[in-house]
Structure 1
Amino acid sequence: MRDGTLTETTKDVTFTRRAWLRSAAWATMAASPVAAAFPAWAQPYPTRPVTWVIPFAPGGATDQLSTPISKLLTARLGQPFTLEHRPGAGGNVATRSVVEAAPDGYTILATSTANLIGTSFDPSLPFDVTKDLAAVAGMARMPLLLLVNNDLPVRNLAEFVAYAKGNPGKLSVSTAGPGTVQHLSAELFRSKAGIKWTIVHYRGSSPALVDVASGHVHAAFDNAASALETVKAGKLRAIAVTTQTRSERLPDLPPIADVLPGFATSGFYGVAVPRDTPRPIVELLNREINAAQADPAIRQHYAELGAIALAGTVSEYNAVVAAESVRWRNVVALLDVRKTD
């Protein structure tokens, strides 16, 4: 994975480049209308390490998208942005920990489609991400792949559907956890194809793909970033993408919609902080994350993952989050699927 190319140099005996960036960023905020709305809040940020919480096991899409951005923010802002993995409950363990964290900008969450699904999928959740978190910035959209074990006697999507229909209830499909985009994609596929199979949940993409490659599970829906290396190594076979159009990174893979008209899902990733985090911090993080996405090394890294960068202002990103929330609420209602345990 490639890091940013920024380097640190000493400008004089009192100011390093990092210190200058912090002071310049703060000066810009202090002079802005946003800062004027918070006259009582005048602390510089950041002055100590920031914890960047990842809701899934290492190696998944959220991890791979977050890592280069966190490194570049560390270089630009002069404090460590340290990744901390807290997998469990389809991302809800990590999400709750951030919801309950101090709203000071020192605990941030890498969000995914699972956060937006969770609100309607699991009514027992003690939080609502659309109300208890403040959306900061987008990272990327990403197609999912339909993957099969190499020993499964299918070579394309039509053969896969025919095999599943001819062997009702015998196929097993892995997901990164209940209420994730992998889970809802599998349920939507099952519904549109009119098939029966067993869904097996894991605590993230990496362990799920290991079991598909080893033959313990027959197939998986997973993000391109999580699956590409395994596919390139020949351990799994990809037979379709979940988006309505082909992926530029994987142009030979047909969309599932070619066989199941109307089928379309994708991963959606961003960053959030606890509600009531001061607006100047939210705005600063938004600008820095957008700047990181413009870095050539990160743009190339995202392209290699099959991801499409998702940049924009705080307001623009909030509009995207609101639209995605409605979309996944409708999918949950359509499938009539809820958390039951």
Structure 2
Amino acid sequence: MTAALPRTTFGRTRRLALAAVAACAALSLAGPAIAADAPYPTKAVKFLTNFPAGGPIDILGRALADALQKDLKQPFIVDNRPGAGGNIGADLMAKSPADGYTVLLGIDSTFTINPHLYASMPFAAKDLKPLMIFSSSGLSFGVASSVKAKTLPEFIAQAKAEPATFSSAGNGSPGHIAAEIFASDTGARITHVPYKGNAPAVLALMGNEVQAGILATPGLLPQVQSGKLRALAVTGKQRSPLLPEVPTVGELGLKGLEFEVLYVAMVPAATPEPVMQTLRQSLQKAMALPEIKSRLASLDMVPLAETGSAASEHLAGNLARYGRIVKATGMKVD
């Protein structure tokens, strides 16, 4: 006859089993909370650029993506979404979750020029806020090899006598507004021909599809050095280290044409501050790296690393200035 287990042993075994089940249940319920509290980022981050591959913001974006990937130990992926003067990519950004896993890298014209040009914008200014203004740069006034003018004054005289075609990186791009200022200030007659980015606009110049363009210097540089294109002036207040022999527009008596492009990172306005702070700190570390400084120099960019109210005020100042220019020139989207 089998002896019965003592009641004390059976009771203890049952209590231990119930405790184990309860502990497992508690852990399963706590799992999502533990994951939610994990430090950002816990997965890949997308750098959304609103201009085509091969342009300055794409090149800078890929360098920054490599730096942040090493610092934050998660993949950073560049995704190019060009079109409509940057509005397509910015609209995608505005509609993205405000969780820090999508960050827009672009130029300020999307937010400072486009609102004055487009009858309706696909996103509201309040939907996005600046994470950082990385850098600024001037532009270069390039002409095709078929153009006879060797100096900017000669080109102005030529364009007064016969209208000139101008390429730009797109409607509302810095080169577009700079060309309109140029025409307004000098009396030159121009026809604006927008392209989808700086690289296609440079190719159009090389192919003699257009006669001139006010474009990002790095894209023009190899063609200027090879003699396929000529640079007549730069729009910065100082001469470009990449084209030290080329005069500034100020030196030529055209200070009204002085122009800067701001390279910015934007996030949805509702992005939590701790997430923004993590991104800011990592970006600031990246901006101090020798390889990033070298990349900025090769892109003719002056480092700024402006954040917070300084970045917001800089963008607001450009928004007001370009509004006055658009109104004065009658600039339109072509």
Superposition TM-score tier, normalisation by shorter sequence: 0.7 to 0.9
For residues 268 and 326 of structure 2, the distance between their equivalents in structure 1, rounded to whole angstroms, comes to: 25
| SS at 2:47 equivalent | strand
Q: Give the TM-score taking structure 1 as reference length.
A: 0.83
2:277 and 2:309 mapped to 1: Cα distance? Answer: 10
Shift of 1:91: 0.6
Alignment-derived partner of residue 244 in structure 2: 251
Tell me, what secondary structure is at the counterpart of 1:146?
strand
Task: Say whether 1:190 aligns with 2:186.
Answer: no
User: Using a 3 Å threshold, how does the CA distance of structure 1 residues 153 and 247 change in structure 2: closer, same or farther?
Assistant: same
DSSP 3-state at the match of 1:332: helix
- One of 204, 207, 218 as aligned partner of 2:211: 218
2:115 to 105, 112, 119: 119
TM-score (normalizing by structure 2): 0.85
Q: CA separation in 2, counterparts of 1:240 and 1:231?
A: 12
Match of 1:156 among 145, 151, 156: 151
Q: Is the 8 A contact 2:143 2:232 kept in 1?
A: yes
Structure 2, unpaired ranges of 5+: 1-35
CA distance in 2, matches of 1:112, 1:296: 23
Cα distance in 2 between the residues matched to 1:234 and 1:247: 18
Q: How does 1:250-269 map to 2 (within 5 A)?
A: 250-257=243-250, 258-269=252-263
Give the match for residue 273 of structure 2. 279
Cα shift at 1:182: 1.0
Contact 1:286 1:314 (C-alpha < 8 Å) held by counterparts = no
| Aligned residue number for residue 141 of structure 1 | 136
Percent identity over the alignment is 33
- Does 2:278 match 1:288? no
Alignment deviations for residues 161-219 of structure 1 (CA, whole Å, 9 cap, x no partner): 1111122x2x1110111111111011110111112121101111111110110111111
Once residues 226 and 314 of structure 1 are traced to their aligned partners in structure 2, the CA distance between those partners, rounded to angstroms, is 31
- Asked if the contact 1:175–1:220 (Cα under 8 Å) also holds between the matched residues in 2, the reply is yes
Shift of 1:43: 4.3
Give the whole-Å Cα distance in 2 for the aligned partners of 1:229 and 1:53: 27
CA contact (8 A) 2:144 2:212 kept: yes
Contact 1:211 1:217 in 2 (8 A): yes
Spell out, residue by residue over 1:109-141, the C-alpha distance to the aligned partner (whole angstroms, 9 max, x if none): 012122121122213113233x11121011110
Please identify runs of 4+ aligned residues in structure 1 that moved more than 4 A. Answer: none
Aligned partners of 1:334 and 1:243: how far apart in 2?
22
Where do residues 69-108 of structure 1 align in structure 2 (5 Å cutoff)? Answer: 69-108=64-103
C-alpha separation between the residues in 2 aligned to 1:313 and 1:152?
A: 43
Cα distance in 2 for partners of 1:128, 1:326 equals: 17
**Aligned AA (1:332):** V
CA contact (8 A) 1:137 1:311 kept: yes
Residue 287 of structure 1: how far off its partner (Å): 1.6
Give the superposition deviation at 1:259.
Answer: 3.5
Unaligned runs of 5+ in 1: 1-40
Q: Secondary structure at the match of 1:280?
A: helix
For residues 231-290 of structure 1, the C-alpha deviation after alignment (integer angstroms, 9 at most, x for no partner) is 233321111001233223322111123232432112111101112011111122112111
Q: Is the 8 A contact 2:157 2:188 kept in 1?
A: no
The whole-number CA distance in structure 2 between the counterparts of 1:61 and 1:327 is 24
Q: Quick check: which has more Rg, 1 or 2? A: 2
Residue 310 of structure 1 aligns to a residue whose secondary structure is strand
Kept in 2, the 8 Å contact 1:64–1:225? The answer is: no
May I ask how many residue pairs the two structures share in their alignment? 297
The counterpart of 1:205, out of the listed 177, 191, 198, is 198
The separation in 1 between residues aligned to 2:218 and 2:134, in whole angstroms, is: 13
Write the distance in 2 (CA, Å) between the matches of 1:270 and 1:183: 19
Distance in 2, matches of 1:313 and 1:203, equals 29
Kept in 1: contact 2:169–2:175 (CA 8 A): yes
Equivalent residue, structure 1, for 2:7: none
Q: Which moved more, 1:290-299 or 1:314-323?
A: 314-323
